[in-house]
Amino acid sequence: MRKIYWAADSTVQTNDITTYPQTGMGQVLSLYLKEDVEVKNHAKNGRSTKSFIDEGRLQAIDERIGEEDFLFIQFGHNDEKDQDPTRYTEPYSTYMDNLAIYIDVARKHGAYPVLITPLERRCFMENGHLGMGAHSDYVAGMKQTAANLNVPLIDLYSMSRAELKRAGEAESRNWYMNFDAGLYPNYMEGKTDNTHLRYAGAVLYAGLVAKGLKELGGIYADLLVEY
């Protein structure tokens, strides 16, 4: 069975009832995959490229990933938190250096690394236009790493921004946890959250990852069901 290992943050992690209805993309990606493809989702809430390594989470992947498996690498949300030295990385130095470490883990086992730019937050301004967000330097750093190391890249950042602009402020509420949080007893009532996804958003954005795989073609497109 082919395996996809995913190293990432809360936008990808698999959730349980304690964070319902929060849903990560790694939790639903299998909707788009053939039956012989299994997702091994190591994504964890709040992690950056740095803290994921420091906590031994990449080592756990290193011990399990095998030849012709895939390693999806998506970080940025927490790398940009410059007030937290346990997570912060500089986009054009330590962030890129860390991405190279993930890529090396995949390649030394004969697995295929795929870089995925960070999902955009729901960052609408008061005038209803989508703001700039905070990911741009990390997106650029990841793209530069992909070019330097000849690694396939899926630009989820650009695709998600396009979807947010298309949907607008009101429709996009259905994709994120920001609204109606008080309906769910295990989620903090009234919490402002334009980062974490509900099921509809996770399915939508996982579909964009699938679109990116299809555009890469070859072994990447072969992971997908026909739809």
The residue ranges of DSSP E strands in the chain, in sequence order, are 2-7, 37-41, 70-73, 112-116, 153-154
Tens of pLDDT along 184-214? 544 555 456 778 899 999 999 999 999 999 9
Tens of pLDDT along 140-161? 999 999 999 999 999 999 999 9
Report the C-alpha dihedral over residues 158, 163, 168, 169, rounded to 10 degrees.
-70
By annotation, the residues acting in catalysis are 10, 189, 196
Nearest alpha carbon to residue 3 among 40, 29, 33, 31: 40
- Which pLDDT value is given to residue 181? 45
Q: Cα 7–10–12 angle (5° rounding)? A: 55
* Cα end-to-end distance, the chain, whole Å: 21
CA distance 24 to 14: 6
The residues of the chain scoring below 70 in pLDDT are: 125, 179-192
Residue extents of the structural domains in the chain = 2-221
Q: Look up the CATH number of domain 2-221.
A: 3.40.50.1110
- Which pLDDT value is given to residue 44? 95
Q: Cα 226–11–150 angle (5° rounding)? A: 65
- Which pLDDT value is given to residue 127? 82
